[in-house]
Amino acid sequence: MNDAGPLLEVEGVSVRFGALMALHQVSLRIERGEILAIIGPNGAGKTTLLNVISGFYHPWEGRIRFAGRDRTRLKPPDVAELGIARTFQNVALFKGMSVLDNIMTGRLLKMRGNVVLDALWWGPAQRQELAHRAAVERIIDFLEIQAIRKTPAGKLPYGLQKRVELARALAAEPQLLLLDEPMAGMNVEEKEDMCRFILDVNGELGTTIALIEHDMGVVMDISDRVVVLDYGRKIADGTPDQVRKDQAVLDAYLGVAHD
Amino acid sequence: MTTIEAGLDTFPKLVRSNAERRPHKIAIREKDLGIWQAYTWRQYFERARRIALGLAALGFARGDKAAIIGDNRPELYWAVAATQALGGVPVPLYQDSIEKELAYIVDHAEARFAVVEDQEQVDKLLHIRAQCPRLESIVYDDSRGMRAYSDPCLISLAELEERGDKLAVGQPGYFDAELARGSADDVAIICYTSGTTGSPKGTMLTHRNMIVMGRNAIEREGLRHDEEVLAYLPMAWVGDHIFSYAQSVLTGFTVNCPESAATVLHDLKEIGPTYFFAPPRIWENLLTNVMIRVEDAARPKRALVHFFLGVAQALERARLHGRTPSAWRRLLHPLGQALVYGPLRDNLGMRRIRVAYTAGEAIGPEIFVFFRSLGINVKQLYGMTESSALVAIQPNGDVRLDTVGTPLPGVEIRISEQGEVLYRSPGVFVGYFKNTEATRQTLEDGWVRSGDAGFIDAAGHLKIIDRARDVSRLAGGTIFAPKYLENKLKFSPYVKEAVCLGQDRPFVTALVNIDLAAVGNWAERRGIAYTSYTDLSQRAEVYDLIEHEVRRVNASLLDDDVLKGARIRKFLILHKELDPDDEEITRTRKVRRGFIAQKYAALIEALYGDGDRVQVQAQVTYEDGRTGTVRADVKIRDVALRATAAGEASL
């Protein structure tokens, strides 16, 4: 793997749904080890951008390079295998399954199955499960959700479900973690917790993070760099301070008439 | 006084002896990564030795103090033993202390070292360092979140132990020599008492205090090396130090550290302790949890549980009062045992309990009877920091509802002319650290003034009425024991905390804190919507509920000739929970009367005024130390007035 250069490069990517241009010639780079925030008014194309990166949508034009390799047209499972994991804007957990099992599903791509051995739970199958369980337990410890290990995910309050979703994404040991509004609908305390976890994931595990977030306080506090989208175009890209002063950004947010 | 064997006269020496005599016996467990990780006595001693050597490498000298801050973790217990092995004194602190309290104690104790659990405690200590000039090194166990810290005073426990290993190479006999220099009369620990008045006081206890008193209790209670205890109460509290450290080292039994504060009940179930300690508050929580779940069960199950619980409680009450229970109840008991009591006990994680204690505050008779009726040997214990936590315990087979039991071996009790309980025992502390004035006031010729009013009954049991200084009189001269009333109120599952007032006033009033879990559940069942604690607390339905409880307390006072004049006339429900962060109650949840009288002066005046509501603004301190203001309209309910109104209506 190529260790120099940005982790992910998006070059002139456009996405259209019929006549609607959801993304228009967007280019951006995600550097290794950084926290990048993608912000913009509603309908600016933020989630679309995340969906393109995770392989859920394919760009109409443009290229995406991950770790120096072109992977514009990969499917989501292949993208996950490459080391990109994500969480969703609306929590997407298996509601009837325990927190532990939910996080275990994050390890699926790393499991090497053998029907007979798995059924007998013997030898390599047993060792494999123990190793995966240990990895999951480290994440449970990391995100401080020991007390809900055996609780069905659907019974948890919203803030905790979000945390479990983050845990599941981390279970895949991603190089790049995509978070779609990780703090939506949370109260101040839950947001503070989530911020700390995001910073810890970035700092302790060295995971590169790209996140969409509406809470500007949070964005300005935790991100190294901010990319601003408006009507499918990138209108700014820089440090939180630069972006805060950018006239185009102010216009987009304060609502100047578009020609 | 019991003699102490030479070579076994300090706790670290006893740890070494355990490591030699029972090297493979499990000394301590900690649930980590979802698994109970066990450490033997040999490992216990080895880690304590390495930590001690590491501290020595940092320059730890005999007599130095080390602050110990964090949840119950094996590493912190080892640090206690390590500090003692070097002739130093561990000073455990409450892990949820705010910076002001922390700064006072760390500075007052002259701690040069601190051994802490994690980043949270490191942050607090770094903040207060300017106020604690003697603090030199902070050792942390959990390195999570510590990557960006470069302060030279910080060192991880792993690095510390490595430095200890290096020191051991150069000076192989250092540790043994230091260990041998310790003696029974060295101060083994300084426990700062939270204190309902004034600044915390540092109670100095020696190895001899805790070895002799710990042994006396072990013999009386028949504790063995195969006990299992759950160490979940704060390490700063003397009880945890006695039960989870001193007695464990003395007998060799196993201490279990829960995974996190949130998992305690679950871990309790997994461990199934044989020896268990809980303050009344925890027993109440357990009971509330059980009853909520029973109420959620299907109707036949619920009826079955209620029926058999009724049988068992009637049996237990008869036994506690020394009567013979009725024959049919005795016949039904085995059936109840199979259907209800056994499974319930198992579900609580209390199937194996041989000895359990409740102490610190009076326990509600309903709660006490409930657990005893299930066959759990809960007993009341009386003690305080100054007595190495141990003064009196209810003997097995001689448990009563209203006493705290008989004095332990070696303990003498007498009652002063003012009615205050005085005691003398081998466990009595040597003094308060750097506070001779307070020592002189409390300790006289070896007798400790407990500050509690009480008496010894005909059977030799000690009975505690109230804090001596809290017993007072109403304006009319009627005797008024506020805590007695408060405890009666708190026996209701809906009342979390209560403060009764009445000294030099015409009648008694009460400030009540509702229990959010219990009242919230009650409200949900009745379809009463609420948005917040404040909102719920001011619902008329909730006032009716609490009024019912107040009336129950008032009715129970009618039997008592002395106290029946002090019935509660008016009450209000506080709009916020009393909180140690706001200094309204201590960390061990004792009400700070003086502070509350000052802070809620407006509310109290309103209680003695004519209005039926009062506007309040309260300062609250958030967990991060910021302060804010809560505004609310608090209603006042007059119990007596409504009684007349209801009476007239019924005519």
List the end-to-end C-alpha distance of chain B, in Å, as a whole number. Answer: 70
Which of A129, A140, A146, A189 is the mutation pick for testing B, counting most B CBs within 10 A?
A: A146
pLDDT at position B644: 43
What CATH number is given to the structural domain containing A236?
3.40.50.300
Domain boundary among A146, A173, A200: A173
Residue in B34, B144, B145 nearest the CB of A137: B34
List the end-to-end C-alpha distance of chain A, in Å, as a whole number. Answer: 45
C-beta atoms of B260 and A138 within 8 A:
no
Q: What is the mean pLDDT of chain B?
A: 89
Beta strands A8-17; B406-407: pairing state: unpaired
Query: Two tokens at B65?
Result: 């103090």
What is the per-residue DSSP string for A92-158? Answer: ---TTSBHHHHHHHTTGGG----HHHHHHT-THHHHHHHHHHHHHHHHHHHTT-GGGTTSBGGGS-H
What is the per-residue DSSP string for B600-644? Answer: THHHHHHHTSS-SEEEEEEEEE-TTS-EEEEEEEEEEEEHHHHHH
Block residue for tokens 């490591």: B19
Domain boundary among A151, A173, A195: A173
On the question of pLDDT at A257 being above 60, the answer is no
Q: Tell which residue, A47, A84, A54, has the closest CA to residue A176.
A: A84
Size of interface A-B (CB pairs under 8 A): 32
Is A121 part of any domain?
yes
Give the start-end residues of each E strand in B207-306: 228-230, 254-257, 275-277
What is the per-residue DSSP string for B516-530? Answer: HHHHHHHHHHTT---
Chain B residue numbers with beta carbons less than 8 Å from the beta carbon of A147 are 259-260, 262-263, 266
pLDDT digits (tens, 9 = 90+) for B233-267: 999 999 999 999 999 999 999 999 999 988 998 99
Is A90 part of any domain?
no
C-beta atoms of B144 and A200 within 8 A:
yes
C-beta atoms of A204 and B145 within 8 A:
yes
**Smallest CA–CA separation between A75 and chain B, in Å?**
34
pLDDT digits (tens, 9 = 90+) for A107-137: 887 777 777 777 777 778 888 888 999 999 9
On the question of pLDDT at A4 being above 60, the answer is yes
Query: Two tokens at A81?
Result: 């295998």
C-beta atoms of A134 and B33 within 8 A:
yes
pLDDT exceeding 70 applies to what percent of chain B? 96
Is A88 part of any domain?
no
Interface subset of A 179-218, CB within 8 angstroms of B: 196, 200, 203-204
> What does the buried/exposed string (b/e) look like for B449-460 if buried means 16 or more CB atoms within 10 Å of the residue's CB?
bbebbbebeeee
**A78 and A1 in one domain?**
yes
Alpha-carbon distances, residue B504 vs B473, B475, B479, B566 (angstroms): 6, 4, 11, 12
Helical pair B157-170 and B174-181, crossing angle rounded to 10 deg: 100
C-beta atoms of A146 and B144 within 8 A:
no
Sheet holding B627-638, edge to edge: B495-501, B508-514, B568-573, B627-638, B613-621
Block residue for tokens 């009463």: B528
pLDDT at position B60: 96
**Smallest CA–CA separation between B95 and chain A, in Å?**
17
Q: How many structural domains compose chain A?
A: 2
Chain A residue numbers with beta carbons less than 8 Å from the beta carbon of B33 are 134, 137-138, 140-141
pLDDT at position A214: 85
**A3 and A111 in one domain?**
no
Mean pLDDT of A40-55: 88
Domains and CATH numbers, chain B: 11-257 (3.40.50.12780), 277-322+336-466 (3.40.50.12780), 471-650 (3.30.300.30)
**A31 and A16 in one domain?**
yes
Quickly count: other Cβ atoms within 10 Å of residue B418's Cβ: 9
Beta strands B35-40; A208-212: pairing state: unpaired
Q: Find the domain containing A150 and state its range.
A: 95-173
Element (H, E) at A86: strand A84-87
**A187 and A120 in one domain?**
no
Which of B30, B33, B141, B264 is the mutation pick for testing A, counting most A CBs within 10 A?
A: B33
Q: Three-state SS for B191?
A: strand
pLDDT at position B2: 57
**A79 and A120 in one domain?**
no
Asked if B628 has any chain A CB less than 8 Å from its own CB, the reply is no
Residue A86 backbone dihedrals phi, psi, to 5 degrees? -145, 165
Asked if A155 has any chain B CB less than 8 Å from its own CB, the reply is no
Chain B residue numbers with beta carbons less than 8 Å from the beta carbon of A133 are 34
Alpha-carbon distances, residue B34 vs A134, A183, B27 (angstroms): 9, 27, 19
Is A89 part of any domain?
no
Which of A99, A141, A143 is the mutation pick for testing B, counting most B CBs within 10 A?
A: A141
Asked if B147 has any chain A CB less than 8 Å from its own CB, the reply is yes
Asked if A130 has any chain B CB less than 8 Å from its own CB, the reply is no
**A183 and A64 in one domain?**
yes
User: How many whole angstroms separate alpha carbon B532 and alpha carbon B427?
Assistant: 47
Asked if A129 has any chain B CB less than 8 Å from its own CB, the reply is no
Chain A residue numbers with beta carbons less than 8 Å from the beta carbon of B142 are none
**A79 and A185 in one domain?**
yes
Chain A residue numbers with beta carbons less than 8 Å from the beta carbon of B148 are 203
Is A54 part of any domain?
yes
Which residues 6+ apart lie within 8 Å of B400 measured at CB? B320, B394, B461
Asked if B199 has any chain A CB less than 8 Å from its own CB, the reply is no
**Smallest CA–CA separation between A125 and chain B, in Å?**
20
Contact yes or no for B575/B634 (Cβ under 8 A)? yes
**A180 and A162 in one domain?**
no
Asked if A131 has any chain B CB less than 8 Å from its own CB, the reply is no
**Smallest CA–CA separation between A115 and chain B, in Å?**
27
Beta strands B508-514; B495-501: pairing state: antiparallel
C-beta atoms of B145 and A200 within 8 A:
yes
Domain boundary among A173, A205, A225: A173
Is A24 part of any domain?
yes
Q: Tell which residue, A111, A58, A49, has the closest CA to residue A86.
A: A49
C-beta atoms of B34 and A146 within 8 A:
yes
**A138 and A10 in one domain?**
no
Q: Which residue of B has its CA nearest to A200?
A: B145
Contact yes or no for A120/A211 (Cβ under 8 A)? no
Chain A residue numbers with beta carbons less than 8 Å from the beta carbon of B262 are 146-147
Chain A residue numbers with beta carbons less than 8 Å from the beta carbon of B147 are 203-204
Which residues 6+ apart lie within 8 Å of B171 measured at CB? none
**Smallest CA–CA separation between A207 and chain B, in Å?**
15
Give the start-end residues of each E strand in B94-181: 111-116, 137-140, 154-156
Residue in A149, A196, A203 nearest the CB of B34: A149
Which positions of chain B have pLDDT values less than 70? 1-2, 194-197, 559-563, 623, 641-651
**A48 and A28 in one domain?**
yes
Q: Three-state SS for B18?
A: helix
Contact yes or no for B616/B524 (Cβ under 8 A)? no
pLDDT at position A135: 92
Query: Two tokens at B49?
Result: 């030795």
Beta strands B254-257; B26-32: pairing state: parallel
**A104 and A169 in one domain?**
yes
**Smallest CA–CA separation between A160 and chain B, in Å?**
14
Residue in A133, A147, A200 nearest the CB of B260: A147
C-beta atoms of A204 and B148 within 8 A:
no
Asked if B144 has any chain A CB less than 8 Å from its own CB, the reply is yes
**A144 and A223 in one domain?**
no
pLDDT digits (tens, 9 = 90+) for B29-88: 999 988 999 999 999 999 999 999 999 999 999 999 999 999 999 999 999 999 999 999
ipTM over cut 0.90? no
C-beta atoms of B32 and A141 within 8 A:
yes
pLDDT at position A3: 63
